[in-house]
Structure 1
Amino acid sequence: MLLKSFQIKAVGFKIVLLIFLFLLSNSIILAQEIIPETALETLVKNNPTQKQKLDGVIAKVGDYIVLDSDIDKSYLEISSQGGSIKDISRCQMLGKLLEDKLYAHQAVQDSLKVTDAEVKSMMEERLNYMVEQIGSMDKVVKYYKKNSEEDFRSYFFDILKEQKLTSEMQKKIVDEVEITPEEVRNFFKKIPTADLPAFGVELEVAQIVIVPKISESEKQKVIDKLIEFKKEIQEGSSFATKAVLYSQDPGSRATGGFYKMNRKTPFVKEFKDVAFSLAEGEISAPFETDFGYHIIYIEKIKGQEVELRHILLSPAITDAALKEAKEKITLIKKRIIDKEITFSEAARTTSDEKETRANGGALINPKTQDTHFELTKMDPSLYGQVSNLKEGEITAPLIDEDQSGKKKYKIITITNRIDEHTANYAKDYTKIKELALKEKQIKAIGKWFDEKIKETYIKIIGEYRDCSFTNNWLKK
């Protein structure tokens, strides 16, 4: 609504269309992302006039080419993700593909660093997911009609490298754009009063978390089990099979506990410290992280990367420990209600959640990185817990369980409720700043395209020369 109401007036039709294409770039995979060949066959079958030109080159940007079939692949990709392609013409889709190619081409010209190691790491993550979905690597290769795994990997590597180059170039352009408070103020002043956006109900939320204590005997049971696994593996059992059967890590269990990582990969410190202390073929002793107890097996070391498998086991939480945690958090709530202590003070001194404890229990919105949660865009589970709370009211103790089955108790309160309102410069400065910055970024992208198109070899072939593009691809 906001874009519709005032950005057309503020920056013109070209920028609005750029907004659409810019947002589209975040919602679809690049044109050459993998699409099942069977889907393309269906497309050809239903559109017989396309048969002769599916593989024809229709454009070139620097050293990159665009095939007519790439447009069809992009349509299929949007449709497969539930998007509507009704209002996207082939000319608009080609314009988007040309943008991607120009980003990648210029990234190479600017010597933006995209290492083979980065791409291979991305590829392994994607392949692990694909294998999990389809069943085996052989099935993946067959599914995409490649002659061999090596052929498929080479094909997939090139796609991902271009995708990474494109995203790095986009990031470079956007990251160089900064905005001053004066620019934000001028941006807001230019919005007609009748077109000021309305912001929905927002909440600021805080919580206190109590984690049930795990007994030493339960910890020892898990340690002993991992020691037993290690012995059996050293005697010939399969680590991967053990991981599939017993690991409590939902992210790697299906792939036999497999991960590929380097020192920059976002794993917890304790896990990385152990992984990089082991030699190839070595299995670690059981060690502890916040997630539970692990053993790691190093399959391969390739320079600064390691390929490993791990098994995670979490000690069981007894009914007695759960009861004790509930009693503790119930007492904390009573002390807050009796005004012996504030919710914020209680969070700082009693909560077991280190991510929120220092901020008095305040939750951070992962999308905006501030403390405001728009009610209609809130995570469904959190919405269900707080939507009916009044400001200052506290929930009953709630039991929470993560993907690995670990349980904890929490209480939640609304520290501030902001009713639906028309945009106010003082109250909504952060949101207005984001909108102003986005507009400036989009203008920077438009200017970048104007400049780079002039200095880059670009050729568009055949009927597509009749397209009316947003950018000056035809250099008229």
Structure 2
Amino acid sequence: MISKFINSRLCFAALALVGLQMQAQEVVEVDSTGVAASQQVIDTVKTFEKFKVDGVSAQVGKYIVLDSDIDRKYIQIEQQGFSTADITRCELLGTLMEEKLYAHHAIQDSVIIPDAQVNATTDQQIQYMLAQFNSEEQVLKFYKKKSMPELRAELFQINKDNMLASEMQNKIIEGVEITPEEVRTFFNSIPVDERPLFSAEVEIAQIVIEPEIPQEEIQKVIDRLNEFRRGIVENGESFATKAVLYSQDPGSSTKGGKISLKRSDNFVKEFKDVAFSLQEGEVSEPFESEFGYHILMVDKIRGQTVDVRHILLIPDVTDETVAVAKAKIENIRQRIVDGELTFAEAAKSESDEKETKNDGGQLVNPVSGDTRFDLTKMDPVLSQQIYNLKDQEVSQVLTDADRTGRKKFKIIMVTDRYDEHQADYSKDYEKIQDLALNDKRRRAIEEWQDEKILETFVSVNRDYYDCDFASNWIKN
């Protein structure tokens, strides 16, 4: 079997055969006897000619890390709003090599990332770029590309490699678990004066009242969708054009309503049920989801993936129903303040928010999964709403909007408050458990890296030999 990589000495000798003055870390393919075939040398020369202007910083497996990749990493960090003042090129090169190591072994382990998934991410990025720069010309100028296809191709490969790396990391840590004894040992290993300081936190409950949507508004939307459907089915009108002109789904309307959907995707049930019940070219009857009312057409069925187009219309509330909803929540608030019922009782009997009403309106932190909210990391809008509230005090009526943009009303209460404090094993067990689990996962990744670096071809440009890498990339 042909070996793809050889050590730096054999590599240098092979390249010397053709009179090349290149560094010893460059790579060629050789046959099983260690003798470089002439075609392999030619292929290698072509590879290095490709990267001659843009210097090679390192190679991990089949992946090349260029100097420009490090420059691009700086730009990405700055675009995310972080300072790069204290970040060295050595650190970024180490990060990039880690990513390439994951991606290389993901391929070795037959990890598959569907092109549809990569394309979806790439499309989102390009749409974001166009929104930021207002024109393709400005996007291409900023990213120094000659055409959008060239930019798209580069983004596609970057995204695919990143997804491979991410999936490989997940595979490494998927079996890592933590026992209570390990949590205790982890906590006790931290010197008392170095134990983490947990920020002030609050627990919050809310009651939400949504204005009723009049039946006549719903019927208007259904009639309109039926009109679209007849034009498409009976007259051959373009579904995509109608989606661009009329759909109220901002995520798909600009793409003619197009969505690629898997059975395992986290879409609303009603949408998935219709999408996977139709044949190619078939257009659904109007149906309802939590977002509004849709019609849907199947473009193509590809195994467990279906390409669909949809048009979303959102029935609106009226001034009358908005006024009724506001009066209702004001009445609920007054009854709580007067002591007629508790906040939790009112939430269970009156709130329109299905996710919280059965728990007395208690909000769950979407980041941590528990009921506590770190005051330093809270959503700014929610933080402002509770800023001056005392414990058990009911807020004034607040105006909010649902995910479709329709107005709704709510009242909020801070049900509990936790001051800033040093980690306490009994009070903060779940947080300490998370820290211990993350530490165990980190060690699992480090052990995997140490093992894989030794068995993977890794070559680092001599300009980076003085770097103090966290991992043994130089293989000293």
2:102–2:165 CA contact under 8 A, matched in 1: yes
Partner in structure 2 of residue 463 of structure 1: 463
* Alpha-carbon distance in structure 1 between the residues aligned to 2:272 and 2:298: 12
- Classify 1:131/1:308 alpha carbon distance in 2 versus 1 (closer, same or farther; 3 Å): farther
1:225-236 equivalence runs, <5 A: 225-234=224-233, 235=235
Query: Aligned-pair distance for 1:155?
Result: 4.2
One-letter amino acid of the structure 2 residue matched with residue 55 of structure 1? D
Whichever residue aligns with residue 193 of structure 1, its letter is: V
The CA deviation at 1:307 is 2.5
* Aligned CA distance change for structure 1 residues 147 and 332 (closer, same or farther; 3 Å): closer
Q: Indicate the larger mover: 282-291 or 292-301.
A: 292-301
Structure 1 residue 97 corresponds to structure 2 residue 91: no
> Separation in 1 of the partners of 2:316 and 2:114?
43
Aligned to 1:109: 108
* Amino acid in structure 1 at the alignment position of 2:102: Y
Closer/same/farther in 2, CA of residues 265 and 135 from structure 1, 3 Å limit: farther
**Matching residue of 2:47:** none
Partners in 2 of 1:120 and 1:217 — Cα distance? 40
CA change 1:54–1:204 in 2 (3 A) is: farther
Larger Rg: 2
1:88 aligns with 2:87: yes
Sequence identity of aligned pairs in percent? 55
**Correspondences of 1:230-245 after superposition (within 5 Å):** 230-234=229-233, 235=235, 237-245=237-245
Q: Which AA in structure 2 matches 1:335?
A: R
1:178-327 to 2 correspondences below 5 Å:
178-234=177-233, 235=235, 237-327=237-327
**Alpha-carbon contact 2:198-2:422 (below 8 Å) kept:** yes
Change (3 A) 1:280 1:123: farther
Moved more, 197-206 or 237-246: 237-246
* Cα offset, 1:133, TM superposition: 5.5
CA–CA distance in structure 2, aligned partners of residues 110 and 120 of structure 1: 22
User: After superposition, what is the alpha-carbon deviation per residue over 1:177-223, rounded to whole angstroms, capped at 9, x for unaligned?
Assistant: 22222222222223333333332221100111122211211111111
Q: Using the alignment, how far apart are the partners of 2:168 and 2:212 within structure 1?
A: 48
Q: Does the 8 Å contact 2:240/2:257 carry over to 1?
A: yes
Q: Which residue does 1:65 correspond to in 2?
A: 64
Q: Name the Cα RMSD after superposition.
A: 2.7
Instruction: Give, in whole Å, the separation in 2 of the partners of 1:278 and 1:184.
Output: 51
Does the CA contact (< 8 Å) of 2:225 and 2:295 recur in 1? yes
- The residue number in structure 2 matching 1:400 is 400
3-state DSSP of counterpart to 2:307: strand
Please state how far the C-alpha of 1:117 moved relative to its aligned partner: 4.3
Question: Given the superposition, is the C-alpha separation of residues 451 and 214 from structure 1 closer, same or farther in structure 2, using an over 3 Å criterion?
Answer: same
Using a 3 Å threshold, how does the CA distance of structure 1 residues 260 and 287 change in structure 2: closer, same or farther?
A: same
Deviation for aligned residue 1:365: 0.7
2-side partners of 1:55 and 1:279: how far apart? 50
Corresponding position of 2:383? 383
**Normalising by structure 2, what TM-score?**
0.81
- How far residue 102 of structure 1 moved from its aligned partner, in angstroms, is 0.9
Q: Which shows bigger deviation, 137-146 or 365-374? A: 137-146
Indicate the larger mover: 212-221 or 441-450: 441-450
Mapped to 2, the partners of 1:197 and 1:168 lie a distance apart of 30
Q: Which amino acid aligns with 2:426?
A: A
In structure 2, relative to structure 1, the CA distance for the partners of 1:468 and 1:174 (3 Å cut) is: same
Q: 1:128 to 1:265 in 2, by over 3 A?
A: farther
- Which amino acid in the other structure matches residue 239 of structure 2? F
Partner in structure 1 of residue 169 of structure 2? 170
Question: Is the CA contact 1:121–1:261 (under 8 Å) kept in the aligned structure 2?
Answer: no
Q: Is the 8 A contact 2:208 2:411 kept in 1?
A: yes
1:53 and 1:68 in contact (8 A); partners too? no
Counterparts of 1:216 and 1:228 in 2: how far apart (Å)?
18
Query: How far did residue 147 of structure 1 move?
Result: 6.2
Q: How many residues align?
A: 424
Distance 1:243 1:309 in 2: 8
Which deviations, in whole Å up to 9, do the C-alpha atoms of 1:89-115 show, x marking residues without a partner? 222221111111111112222333433
SS in 1 for 2:376: helix
Q: Which moved more, 1:274-283 or 1:69-78?
A: 274-283
Q: Deviations over 1:250-292 (max 9, x none)?
A: 3223333222212222211111111222333333221111111
Specify the SS of the correspondent of 1:377: coil
- The Cα offsets for residues 78-99 of structure 1, whole Å up to 9 and x where unpaired, read as 2232322222222222111111
1:250–1:403 Cα contact (<8 Å) kept: no
Corresponding residue SS for 2:465? helix
Q: Relative to 1, partners in 2 of residues 1:80 and 1:131: Cα closer, same or farther, differing over 3 Å?
A: closer
Aligned AA for 2:163? K
SS of the aligned residue for 2:242 comes to: helix
Q: Contact (CA 8 Å) 2:286, 2:294: kept in 1 or not?
A: yes
Is the Cα–Cα contact under 8 Å of residues 244 and 253 in structure 1 kept in the other structure? yes
Taking structure 1 as reference, are residues 100 and 435 closer, same or farther at Cα in structure 2, changes over 3 Å only? same
CA deviation profile, 1:153-186 (whole Å, cap 9, x unmatched) = 5544332221111001112223332222222222
Counterpart in the other structure of 1:28: none
Tell me how far apart the structure 1 counterparts of residues 276 and 187 of structure 2 sit (CA, whole Å): 51
Query: Are residue 442 (structure 1) and residue 439 (structure 2) matched?
Result: no
After superposition, the Cα gap between the structure-2 partners of 1:54 and 1:380, relative to the gap in structure 1 and judged at 3 Å, is farther
TM-score by length of 1: 0.81
Query: 1:366 maps to what in 2?
Result: 366
C-alpha spacing 1:115/1:307, structure 2 compared with 1 (3 Å): closer
Matched residue, 1:79: 78
**Rounded Cα–Cα distance in structure 1 between residues aligned with 2:274 and 2:242:** 20
Deviation sequence 1:404-444 (CA, Å, 0-9, x none): 32122211111111122222222222222222222222222
Contact 2:60/2:104 (CA < 8 Å) preserved in 1? yes
